[in-house]
């Protein structure tokens, strides 16, 4: 029998680093140069036939960069089991913000066993950087990221690999937990622009 796992994954990072573009590339195989800032949070669902008997449903929460200045992230982060933390490798300030996002994440959500949720670091817009980004292995080790990838939503590089790395880490946590995770959040299809009002049901505090 096939087992189906639903994982809530956050995509966070500063304004304009390419979070929405990465998700649209990953889920819908499209890319646009046009920038339209995300308001609040957007969703997408990626279904992966992980192995012969496992289907992984990744519920991707695309958090607006501007939300780091707001107070909704605690609500958005709830029950997440993994995160992609994105910066723009052409803008140093967005790399500086990576640790602020990581701290925000770790202070607001942990796994059931109290450990931090696995986070993968993405150096996006690799197609634009003049040279390769300096290696981030030591940075990841020191700051609790499970790995890092140079990605390009434009050229479709390394996004699948980064997601794969995250899922592997989520699964290894999941398999150490005896309870099967039930789908607890919204059932989503396609890419809907959801406002906080639409979210109202299961995610917002009463």
Cα–Cα distance for residue pair 105/117, rounded to 1 Å? 8
Quick one: which of 5, 20, 46, 171 contacts Mg ion (CB under 5 A)? 20
**Closest CB to Mg ion among 20 and 203?**
20
- Closest to 14 measured CA to CA, from 109, 71, 132, 95: 95
Cα–Cα distance for residue pair 88/98, rounded to 1 Å? 10
**22, 131, 188 from 89: Cα distances, Å:** 14, 10, 31
Q: Under rule CB under 6 A, which residues in 141-200 are in contact with ligand GTP?
A: 152-154
Quick one: which of 5, 9, 21, 117 contacts ligand GTP (CB under 6 A)? 21
CA atoms within 13 A on the CB side of 13: 27
**Closest CB to ligand GTP among 15 and 171?**
15
Quick one: which of 5, 26, 38, 63 contacts Mg ion (CB under 5 A)? 38
SS3 (DSSP) at 69: helix
Shortest Å distance, C-beta 31 to ligand GTP: 7
Q: List residues binding ligand GTP (CB under 6 A).
A: 15-21, 32-33, 35, 37-38, 64-65, 124-125, 127-128, 152-154
């Amino acid at each position: 029998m096939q087992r189906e796992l639903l994982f809530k994954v956050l995509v966070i990072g500063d304004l304009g680093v390419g979070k929405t573009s990465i998700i649209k590339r990953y889920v819908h195989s499209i890319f646009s140069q046009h920038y339209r800032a995300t308001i609040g949070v957007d969703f997408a669902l990626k279904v992966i036939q992980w192995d012969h008997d496992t289907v992984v449903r990744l519920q991707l929460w695309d958090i607006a960069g501007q939300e780091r200045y707001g107070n909704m992230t605690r609500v958005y982060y709830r029950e997440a089991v993994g995160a992609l933390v994105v910066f723009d490798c052409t803008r140093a300030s967005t790399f500086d913000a990576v640790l602020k996002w990581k701290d925000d994440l770790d202070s607001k959500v942990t796994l059931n066993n109290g450990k931090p949720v696995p986070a993968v670091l993405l150096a996006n817009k690799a197609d634009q950087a003049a040279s390769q980004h300096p290696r981030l292995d030591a940075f990841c080790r020191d700051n609790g990221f499970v790995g890092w990838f140079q990605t390009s939503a434009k050229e479709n590089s390394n996004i699948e690999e980064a997601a794969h790395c995250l899922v592997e880490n989520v699964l290894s946590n999941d398999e150490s937990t005896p309870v099967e995770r039930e789908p607890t959040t919204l059932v989503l299809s396609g890419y809907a622009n959801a406002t906080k009002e639409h979210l109202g049901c299961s995610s917002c505090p009463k």
